[in-house]
Each structure stands twice: as C-alpha cells, then as structure tokens.
Amino acid sequence: MSTLLPDESYCKCELGTLLYAGRKNHQIKCEVVDHREITGLFSHVEYDVVITVMPTDQIVNEPKKFKAATRYKEVHKLQTQLSVIHKQLYLKEAVPKFPGPVMFGANSPEVIQERKKATGNFLNFVVNNEVLCKTKVLQEFVENFEEIFENSSATTKIDIPTSDRPLSDLCSPVLGTLETGMQLPKQCSIEELTEEEEKIVQS
C-alpha cells in the first residue's frame, strides 16, 4: 500500500491541496501561537498551531492562514510515522527530533515550552518537504485545520459639512448679481482711439 497520495485530487481539504502543490507558488510557515491546559479526569495541554501559506505570485499575494488545536501525543505520533517514511524513501536531511513522553510533570511550564518549540520546528520541516506533504498521514493530520480570517480594519466615516444657506445662494454666479440701475462701462470704439493706437489696431 502506497504511503503517498496519487495526485492532489485525493486531498480532502484546501490546506492539504496547497501543501501537495509544493513550494513553486507558495511559501509556507508553521508556528505554535498559544496553548491551554484542559482540566478533568484526563487533563492535558492543547497547542494552537497556525500554518500560513503565502503565495509568491505578484498579482495574488494575499496569505491564507489555517489553525487547529492539537495535542502532544498526536504530533508525537505523526513524527514517528513520518520518520519511518522519511527513512524508507531515503530522503535528504534528518527529521527533527521530538521530546519523548514524561511520566510526571507533563503540564509544567518547562515541558510545555519544550514541546511548543519542538512542535514548531518539526511541522516547519514537514510542510516545507514536498515528499512528506504528499503522505497520507500528513494529509489526514491537516484535515482538522480551518481557515482563519484577519479582522478587516474599520472604515472611518467622513462627515461632509453642509451649509445653512439656501441652494439658490450657493448656485449664484461667482461674480455676484448686478444691482438694479447699475450700468456697465461703455465699450471703447475705434473712433475714441488715438492715432498711434489706431495704427496698432489696423496693422
């Protein structure tokens, strides 16, 4: 049974399709942005993982972000499976090591920080490996990721001041209106020109 998907049509989510497409058109980054302790009968820690896909196209350059909550044991299982596949396929570079399980103190700050760092390093290695991105186990892992959208910046409302003057006043000519009985200056005629001015006009 093959460990790789035949083609991208077998991907079951958008993130899986983007990862399968390879690094030609995208830059991919993975980071652990937060964590929280889940209390109860089986207390554990969940880690919030965000995978950012940045297109290298100059026209379409809006990044896509996908987020999911995962546990240490899920990432540890994925690391074990991909390490075996990596070795079987004789791939270059070594898979980053992952901290082993602990009997006590799994929720201590030191262990949590160690696992956050290891999870980020491991997933960054995987999402930037074209062969491992096509494995069935990784494609199943990313099916739980959902796209997140950044909050759009609030638009500022601009109030245009209005005038209390009547519309007829606003539409009046720029030069204003002439008062009743006001006479315009009489236009000059050629007869009133001096001899020198008449020569210039007639030339």
The one-letter amino acid code at 93 reads E
HSE of 124, CA atoms in CB hemisphere, 13 A: 12
Closest CA to 33 of 73, 65, 5: 65
Q: How far apart are CA 93 and CA 156, in angstroms?
A: 51
What domains, with CATH codes, occur in the chain? 8-148 (3.30.1520.10)
pTM: 0.71
Percentage above 70 pLDDT, the chain? 72
Arithmetic mean of pLDDT, 173-188: 48
Spatial neighbors of 185 by CB under 8 A, at least 6 apart, are none
pLDDT tops 60 at residue 162:
no
Arithmetic mean of pLDDT, 136-160: 76
